[in-house]
Amino acid sequence: MKQVVPSVLTSDPGDLEKKIRILERLADVIQIDIMDGEFVPNISIGVGEVQRVNPQAQLEIHLMVRHPVKYIQSFARIGAFRIIFHIECDDAAAHVIREIKQFGVQPGIALNPPTPVEKIRPFLDSVNVVLVMGVNPGLQGQKFMPEVLPKVRAIKEIRPKIIVEVDGGVNPETGPDLVDAGVDILNVGSYLFKQLPVEDNWERMQRIIGEGNRG
């Protein structure tokens, strides 16, 4: 079953709370992007701000950080059900996956647009989710890079049942091609808040996956 998961990328605790309060009325799962200023140039909110907001939806944490192992326990303790890290990080992927599983959390692995699928192939049997970045990570509002679509198809050929997400540049224009390529989860960030009301933008995305689920 295909799904839309909203993502929140912010460094402002007030903005975080405002967006979470809106999104938790619409979605069962919310992705929160965490940036360390090293793996990507920008810095986001941290675990403390997320905990204070106390989201009433399930949390998927996307760690755009150089050393994801440092973050796993903290996010597991506040109830994250899934933690996604980047294959390009400085921690060994096998070690990160073991650490995530140790806390009873689903592991996911992400790859940036320049990174080939072969880089994550050894870990596809050890993770629940692969997150394919449709843009270079760190900034919202970037244009989707269609050259990542073959990666989605390649991952599905290797492991057909694995959940594939795409994050970055996802909107009603790019969504149908992503669904056709086999994407299971559309991560939608800046589009939802580009113009109000958010609920209307959410409904547009829901129609896209509704058509995909019927197909």
pLDDT tens, position by position, 129-150 = 999 999 988 776 678 999 999 9
Q: Indicate the pLDDT class of residue 212, thresholds 50, 70 and 90.
A: low
Report the DSSP beta bridge partners of residue 86. Answer: 110
Tell me which of 12, 167, 180, 184 is the catalytic residue.
167
Q: Is the pLDDT of residue 162 over 70?
A: yes
Asked whether the beta carbons of 89 and 39 are under 8 A apart, the reply is yes
Predicted TM-score of the model (pTM): 0.95
Tell me which of 12, 15, 28, 33 is the catalytic residue.
33
In this prediction, residue 207 carries a pLDDT of 94
In this prediction, residue 86 carries a pLDDT of 98
What is the average pLDDT score of the chain?
A: 94
180 noted as active-site residue: no
Tokens at 192, concatenated:
């939802």
Give CA 180 to chain center in angstroms.
19
Percent with pLDDT over 70 in the chain: 96
Q: Indicate the pLDDT class of residue 98, thresholds 50, 70 and 90.
A: very high
Residue 42 to residue 123: CA distance in whole angstroms: 28
200 noted as active-site residue: no
Nearest to 162 by CA among 197, 105, 121: 121
3-state secondary structure of 189: coil
In this prediction, residue 104 carries a pLDDT of 97
Looking at residues 17-46, what average pLDDT do you find? Answer: 95
In this prediction, residue 195 carries a pLDDT of 81
* Least reliable range by pLDDT among 18-27, 110-119, 188-197, 198-207: 188-197
In this prediction, residue 20 carries a pLDDT of 97
| CATH number reported for the structural domain that contains residue 148 in this entry | 3.20.20.70
Asked whether the beta carbons of 165 and 5 are under 8 A apart, the reply is yes
Asked whether the beta carbons of 155 and 181 are under 8 A apart, the reply is no
3-state secondary structure of 111: strand
pLDDT tens, position by position, 184-202 = 999 999 899 988 799 999 9
> Containing domain of residue 12, as a range?
3-214
Domains held by the chain: number: 1
The stretches of the chain forming alpha helices (DSSP H) are 13-23, 47-53, 69-77, 93-102, 149-158, 175-181, 190-194, 198-214
Q: Indicate the pLDDT class of residue 210, thresholds 50, 70 and 90.
A: confident
